[in-house]
Amino acid sequence: MAKIILKLLFLLAILLMLTAFYNRGKISRLVHTISLFDEGVIAQNFQDMEDTYPTMGLTKSTKPYRFAYNKEYIPGGSFEFNDRIIDINTYLKDTYTEGLLIIKNDTIIYEDYFLGLDETESHISWSMAKSFTATLIGIFYEKGLFELDDPIDKYLEDFKGTAYEGVSIRNLLHMSSGVTFDEDYGDFFSDINRFGRGFAMGSPIRNFAKSLKKGKKPGTFNHYVSIDTEMLAFLLVDLTGKSLTQLTQEYLWEPMGMEYDGQWIIDNDSMEMALGGLNATLRDFSKLGLCYKHNGFFNGHQIVSPDWVEASLNTDLPHLKPGENPLSSNDHGYGYQWWVPNNNHKAFAMSGIYNQYVYVDPVNDIVIVKLSANHKFKTEGRITKDMHFEMFDAIIEDIISHEKVSG
């Protein structure tokens, strides 16, 4: 009997070893995902995402847009938040800034890199990718492939009977699907962290989307559901027969003049993580902000129509308005996957977790891009977005005051 037990244990050990061998890539990604945001490694991880996760590549433009330079400005001064005066340079350091770019009148007036990042290095976008995905939706909406008030399951029939049945494309753009979703990065068992672990192990994003549950009536409440963006990506891929990477290359990367290669992180079904898996350089992230500042025109091309840009930044619906709002779980306004800050309704922004930003002030013709590896994000949470928006406005005021003095 003892010999039989030993043989069984031996066979079990062999089976476990074989399982580990054939799944070593998945296991490695899972371990990496769990420690992705740890202090000491987070910055390098954010700069090397393509080395850990499967990706599809974006090739730099054949006609790259090169910025004019006039590096005349150095960030300084302070901003006020919750009755505190905060030094800007101290806050930039405290939030583990990896790159900061300031563009005025389409000219770079400040650019610097930290924590190992440089101008050629791609960096994870996190949720800034949502604005790129929404721009592609705008392009194909204008081609007549769908209507914004069509239910998504009209085109994605495998989502009939799921929480997304009856949710319109416009609802998805507005993060108003009504789908129940917990996006608390500090909670190990939250939906977003459950998604991350499943993604690391190779679980298809599409399957995860089908696992979510209905909550509120679609189109009545603004609540951030990252999978809403993935639904938009499924729509683009299914209707065009092309990957999101191919569409990004053809309609954004090439005509906008991206200077460097980029990547989309993909799942095991080769579906891009549209909700946050775009890797690009500091300068190339800025170009979508500049495109919207110029009403959809950039690098000699009308990328998307002025009407789409206007609609993307419109927060007139009751549940999308900035400020304290019982119809929203956010204090800031929300358009078509663009934020409209509560402190400055003239401005609009892309925003990603761990403090990634493209902040656009069209009135003062300034774009600020910040890439970060703030490991404290899990505990600081939403307050960092409020603080960053206040800091960006303080930087803009400082730039204007310098111009008045020098002028």
- Dihedral of CA atoms 112, 294, 259, 351 in degrees, nearest 10, equals 60
Give the number of other CB atoms < 10 A from CB of residue 346: 13
Of 262, 231, 103, whose CA–CA distance to 164 is shortest? Answer: 231
The backbone region for 328, taken as left when phi is positive above 0, alpha when psi lies in -120 to 50, beta otherwise, is beta
How far from 86 is each of 35, 342, 400, CA to CA, in Å?
Answer: 30, 19, 19
> 394: which residues sit within 8 A by CB, 6+ positions away?
77, 78, 79, 88
Per-residue pLDDT, 23: 46
pTM for the model = 0.92
Give the H or E element holding residue 302. Answer: strand 301-302
3 state DSSP class of 151:
strand
The per-residue pLDDT for 187 is 86
Return the residue matching tokens 């610097």: 112
Q: What is the pLDDT of residue 201?
A: 85
- Please give the class, per CATH, of domain 42-406: alpha beta
- Would you state the pLDDT for residue 240? 98
pLDDT of residue 4: 52
Q: Note the pLDDT of residue 393.
A: 97
Return the pLDDT at 404. Answer: 75
Which pLDDT belongs to residue 5? 57
Which mean pLDDT values do the consecutive 10-residue runs of the chain (407 residues) have? 52 44 51 79 96 96 97 94 96 97 98 98 98 98 98 98 98 98 87 90 93 97 97 98 98 98 97 98 98 98 98 97 95 97 92 97 98 90 88 97 76
